[in-house]
Structure 1
Amino acid sequence: MTVTIYDVAREAGVSMATVSRVVNNNPNVKPATRKKVYEAIERLGYRPNAVARGLASKKTTTVGVVIPDISNAIFAEVARGIEDIANMYHYNIILCNADKKKDKEIRVINTLLEKQVDGLLFMGGAVTEDHQQAFKTANVPIVLCATSDESEEIPSVDIDHESAAYDAVMKLIENGHKRIGMISGTLQDPANGYARFQGYKRALESSGIAYDENLVRIGNYRYESGSEAMQHFIDMEVRPSAIFSATDEMAIGAIHCIQDNGLQVPEHISVISVDNSRMASMVRPQLTAVAQPMYDIGAVSMRLLTKLMKKEHVEQSKVILPHDLISRQSVANISK
């Protein structure tokens, strides 16, 4: 038979109101009484009915998280930051994978809202009008995590992707590279794609290097697309001396393609990227990369959402976290 709050109260010799206060972490319970209630809960195997509690309080203490690709280590690190802060503030997480597909993102958003989540964290690509429409129907706070919308109407936490790409390409230029190829994400993606492409162009222009569209290949963030793009560059009559990749995974595909063609990194071609996932230090040579503070992006996003859910004062609804350039062994200095 299902154990009820009445059974726990009778076992502990206290009122049902006292059990309720203990279960809901109300501080107005004596330590000895709290201990007695917890012991009764453990003996009886009592589990609070989350649905009933939600109906009574109109809160489910649950947050929905839309993640673009659950197999990507970068997003896994963001999710860890989200979960750690959620646990700290006693929220549960419903994590949904959207496969970087707009239709699925919209469907997942609506499904989470139907489940009466108290708030929503959205990680994805472009925030389209369809996304905006789905968000407008929500009666709960929403925070964009590792992305942002052009209107800047929705609270968000991210890095400056254009600046991150600029710093990466400038690292190559400072090391004497002038013919620099780029393996880009889709330009419809405002962050990992378009913004990083703009940072690449700005670095070239600020250094007096003409932009050449033949030195840009569009990938899909996967290892295979990095390898395919690199093969294109190797087959060019005059190949680039360095490659800037929009993501680590494509960069590693490029490194392996270079090596498969009998060339070496960085002796023949240098490679740099943005992300600094765990893979960056696993590949050989280790990958020089601009580091996104992925755990912090997740943690700060969740903390911002808790403030919005609790209707606390928020000083800044658009948060830009700093990035850092981690130098390893994949970039050669050819200016000497």
Structure 2
Amino acid sequence: MKKITMQDVALKAGVSKSTVSQYINSRFEFMGVSTKHRVEAAIKELGYIPNHVAKSLKQKKTGTIGVIVANILHTFSTEIIRAIEDECERNGFHLFVCNADDQPEKERSYIDMLVAKQVDGLIIFPTNGNNDYYKQLKTAEFPIVFVDRVINEPIFPTLLLDNESASQIAVDQLAKKGRTKIGLVSTSIVQKVTPRIERIMGYKKALASHGLAIEEDWIVAEQREEIGSRLQRLWDSGNRPEAFFATNDLALIELLRFIKKNKLVIPENIGVIAIDDSPFLEMATTPISVIKQPTFEIGQNAADTLLQLISSKNFEEEYEERRYRPILVERESI
């Protein structure tokens, strides 16, 4: 891959090299908004790595790694971070943790910052939007491990749940209890986040395997703040599911909020099963059945894999995804 230079960015954006330099160093005082956007777009399209970042890639080990999570509000994320930290501590490494809020621009900014701080490697829950930058880092032989999400090309080791199997387990459990009208609640799929897409696909396949109808109106996949109102419209329509499968903990919280608002009783009025566990689910008035992810195993394996990459610098062209088996925890909600 040809090394992208500041001059390449300047030509692409139609500006001077000094303007690109000003942008990289966050000197925007005399830069027009349209110029700023052109430079930003050129950097992103070309996958340019600033010199200060490129230089830091060649420095000696610092005993630190960076973790960039997509959304730190998920219990899944915090448990994996804890497992990574434990494993790094055992091996004499320290952690920087950053939250990208599912924003590619924020993720890239954190990557730049962490690499400039000379971390020895990164564990990333990748967003959709920085694929070219990932390739540049791969070319520079910078150690990275992906967790929870896949990108178009398997250029780094990737560890995640067998999401379709998790959905199959959820639907199997509801069907076993005689539930034939099964809805799904998810956070938004606009950004094509791997687990959300795969869990919805798995849900549809599982319904088909039981000969159950797939009602598109029963699939509620919205921004978190919109889930409640969307569920309410569905409920008020009269075409109601008998049970819901919540594909993550944040979707489940909004589902339970809706259930409480409508004074519904679990499981008498509505069955519930979800992916991801939390202590409060076991202690709820009606304990909620869940499909757990082996978060501590994933976190430990992610840290081990990264530390091996840091030590060996032995990069493969492509990596197979490592999928983990979901774990059913049966309670009283279905």
Give yes or no for TM over 0.5.
yes
Give the 3 Å change call, closer, same or farther, for CA 71–251 of structure 1 in structure 2. Answer: closer
| Residue 66 (str. 1) matches residue 68 (str. 2) | yes
- Letter aligned with residue 274 of structure 2: S
Cα gap change, 1:303 to 1:127, in 2 (>3 Å): farther
Contact kept? 1:63, 1:94, Cα under 8 Å: yes
**What is the alpha-carbon distance in structure 2 between the residues aligned to residue 55 and residue 303 of structure 1?**
21
Distance 1:55 1:214 in 2: 49
What does residue 102 of structure 1 align with? Answer: 104
Does the C-alpha gap of structure 1 residues 317 and 212 become closer, same or farther in structure 2, counting only changes over 3 Å? closer
Q: 1:291, CA displacement in angstroms? A: 0.3
Shift of 1:90: 0.7
Specify the alignment match of 2:215 in structure 1. Answer: 212
Q: Please say if 1:319 is aligned against 2:322.
A: yes
Check the 8 A contact 1:292/1:323 in 2, yes or no. Answer: yes
1:292 is displaced (CA, Å) by 0.6
SS of the residue corresponding to residue 165 of structure 2 reads: helix
Partner SS for 1:310: helix
Aligned-residue offset at 1:293: 1.2
Equivalent position to 1:329, from 304, 329, 332: 332
Name the CA shift for 1:317/1:112 in 2 (closer, same or farther; >3 Å): farther
Q: 1:271 to 1:167 in 2, by over 3 A?
A: same
Give the alignment of 1:98-137 within 5 angstroms: 98-126=100-128, 128-133=130-135, 135-136=137-138
Which one-letter code corresponds to 1:157 in the other structure? L
CA separation in 2, counterparts of 1:71 and 1:324? 22
Contact 1:144 1:157 (C-alpha < 8 Å) held by counterparts:
yes
Aligned amino acid, residue 218 of structure 1? A
Offset, 1:147: 2.0
User: What is the 5 A alignment of 1:246-285?
Assistant: 246-285=247-286
Distance 1:272-1:115 versus aligned 2 partners, 3 A rule: same
Aligned length: 276
* Amino acid corresponding to residue 292 of structure 1 in structure 2: Q
Alpha-carbon distance in 1 for matches of 2:152, 2:114:
24
- In the alignment, the residues of structure 1 paired with residue 57 and residue 239 of structure 2 have an alpha-carbon distance, to the nearest angstrom, of 67
Equivalences for residues 143-154 of structure 1 within 5 A: 143-154=145-156
For 1:160, which of 140, 159, 162 is the aligned residue? 162
Per-residue Cα deviation, 1:132-172 (whole angstroms, up to 9, x for no partner) = 34533643211002222242221011111121112112211
Match among 181, 184, 189 for residue 182 of structure 1: 184
Instruction: Give the Å deviation of 1:109.
Output: 1.3
The Cα offsets for residues 54-86 of structure 1, whole Å up to 9 and x where unpaired, read as: 999811111111012233322111100000000
Whichever of the two has the greater Rg, that structure is 1
What is the CA–CA distance in structure 2 between the aligned matches of 1:139 and 1:313, rounded to whole Å? 9
Structure 2: tracts of 5 or more residues without a match: 1-55
Q: Let me know the Cα RMSD of the aligned residues.
A: 2.6
2-side partners of 1:297 and 1:158: how far apart? Answer: 7
| Residue 252 of structure 1: how far off its partner (Å) | 2.7
C-alpha contact 1:146 1:297 (8 A) present in aligned 2: no
Q: Which residue of 2 aligns with 1:310?
A: 311
Q: Do 1:70 and 1:97's aligned partners in 2 also have CA atoms closer than 8 Å?
A: yes
CA contact (8 A) 1:183 1:229 kept: no
* Gapped regions of structure 1 (runs ≥ 5): 1-53, 332-336
Question: How far apart, in 2, do the equivalents of 1:185 and 1:134 lie?
Answer: 31
CA–CA distance in 2 between the matches of 1:319 and 1:155? 8
Q: Deviations 1:166-208 (Å, cap 9, x if unpaired)?
A: 2112211121111111112333334231001101100111111
Alignment pair present for 1:193 and 2:193: no
User: Does structure 2 retain, via aligned residues, the 8 Å contact 1:106–1:130?
Assistant: no
CA contact (8 A) 1:248 1:279 kept: no
The two structures have a TM-score, normalised by structure 2, of: 0.75
Q: Do the aligned partners of 1:125 and 1:191 also contact (CA within 8 Å) in 2?
A: no
Alpha-carbon distance in 1 for matches of 2:128, 2:331: 32
Q: Deviations over 1:99-138 (max 9, x none)?
A: 1111111111122122221111001444653453453364
